[in-house]
Amino acid sequence: MIRAGRRNLVRTLADLAAQQGLSPQRYRKLKPYEAAGFPPRISSANARTRLYDADQVDAYLLGKPVPALPDHDDDNDLLDRQEAAAELGVSPRSWDVYKSAPLLTEHMTEVGGVEHWPRGIVHRFQNSRPGKATVTGRPEGAGDQIPRDQLPALTAPLLDADPTITAAAVTEELGVHRDTAQDVLLRLRSDRMADLMDTDPSLTPDQAAAALGYPAGQVRRATVRAQAVLRARRAAPYLADVAQALHRQGWTTTAAAPTVHHPADDVVTATLTLDGPTPSAPALVWDERHGWRTATSRRHPLTKGAALPPEGDGIRYLATGTTPPPDTLIAALTS
């Protein structure tokens, strides 16, 4: 599990490989994480994605004693699928059914490409299970009645009128699926928190949320995403420079800035479609942690979640560093 307050210290195998200056494939082949004394993973034993604590790994690599993690349970501990199922005393397959409950979908967060839920929310769901749930909102599988590009403008006044509004209330008001309502509220709240933190850099995300009247229990994901939104804004001039350089090269039909994404709330990525007459690849992806890589699809350049895709089959990592100069990136693409 991810202990409370340590989400920012979570590292994937791809992160550890980059720290050691190795490709993910080389790192997995060498398997240094299986050496005696290497810190244990913080993900559950049978999880497909290995997650580690940065403080522990850094200490190990420096030859220092590996610090112990907190051993007391906290409502803000983040549990993965298997841990949440064990907390309820059910099988992981049963959890896959339960996790679609509104309370759990509203508080699900991805860390390292893996779904997690706060321990306290899992307990709240457990306490609400015995015959208390009444299905509300739109039926499962029903489509949204409003185009998604219109939703922010229609939801913003509702949030203005009631900062504590829930996804269920937006669903009832606008006739959209609860997941859609949850997503638009997340985006609106995180953008507004980022605006406030931009204006007053001394504010923490929690302070910005409080200033806007957002209840702490509703904005766990938004506080993380707001920080990513700020980082995306800082990266925007660099990404625009790259887009213009690629356009001058003839690889794009416009000099439009890349499209920014937040695949796991706390990660900033951007995609650039290379739609010119002689592109060197279908698309490019920029990741704030790992820099630039080629993509194999124009329609779907991003892989699912925040996991780093391996090289090969059209995927190539370009230049060095996370923000190489545009001419260096172009040279890497043509080499």
Residues 49-68 as b or e (16 or more Cβ within 10 Å = b): bbbbbbebbbebeeeeebee
pLDDT (tens digit, 9 = 90+) per residue, 40-53?
999 998 888 999 99
> What integer pLDDT is reported at residue 266 of this predicted model?
85
pLDDT attached to residue 140: 45
Over residues 81-100, the mean pLDDT reads: 85
CA angle 38, 80, 7 (to 5 degrees): 65
Q: What is the pLDDT of residue 94?
A: 77
Whether residue 134 has pLDDT greater than 50: no
Give me the pLDDT at residue 145, please.
Answer: 54
Whether 39 has a pLDDT exceeding 90, the answer reads yes
Tell me the C-alpha distance between 246 and 252, whole Å.
Answer: 6
Q: What is the mean pLDDT of residues 86-107?
A: 85
Specify the pLDDT at position 276.
Answer: 87
pLDDT band at 138 (very low <50, low <70, confident <90, very high): very low
φ and ψ of 51, to 5 deg: -125, 140
| 3-class SS of residue 308 | coil
Least confident of 213-217, 254-258, 307-311, 323-327: 307-311
- DSSP code for 218: G
Evaluate whether 196 touches 247 at the Cβ level (below 8 Å): no
- Range with lowest mean pLDDT among 86-100, 131-145, 157-171: 131-145
pLDDT in tens, 262-301: 887 888 999 999 998 888 889 999 999 889 999 988 888 8
Q: What is the pLDDT of residue 142?
A: 43
Residue 179: enclosing H or E segment and its boundaries? helix 178-199
Q: How confident is the model at residue 313 (pLDDT cuts 50, 70, 90)?
A: confident
Average model confidence (pLDDT) for the chain? 87
Band (146; pLDDT cuts 50, 70, 90): low
pTM: 0.60
